[in-house]
Amino acid sequence: MKEALPVIAAGGTFAGATLAGLLIGIFIGGRTGQPVWAFVGLIVGLGAGAYSAVRLLFRAK
| pLDDT tens, residue by residue, 4-35 | 898 999 999 999 999 999 999 999 999 999 99
Q: How many domains does the chain have?
A: 1
Amino acid at 14: F
Q: Does residue 32 lie in a domain region?
A: yes
Q: Which domain holds residue 33?
A: 18-60
Q: How confident is the model at residue 53 (pLDDT cuts 50, 70, 90)?
A: very high
State residue 3's pLDDT score.
Answer: 80
Claim: this prediction has a pTM higher than 0.85: yes
**6 sits in which H/E element:** helix 5-32
Q: Which residues contact 6 (CB under 8 A, 6 or more apart)?
A: 56, 57, 59, 60
Identify the pLDDT of residue 1.
Answer: 72
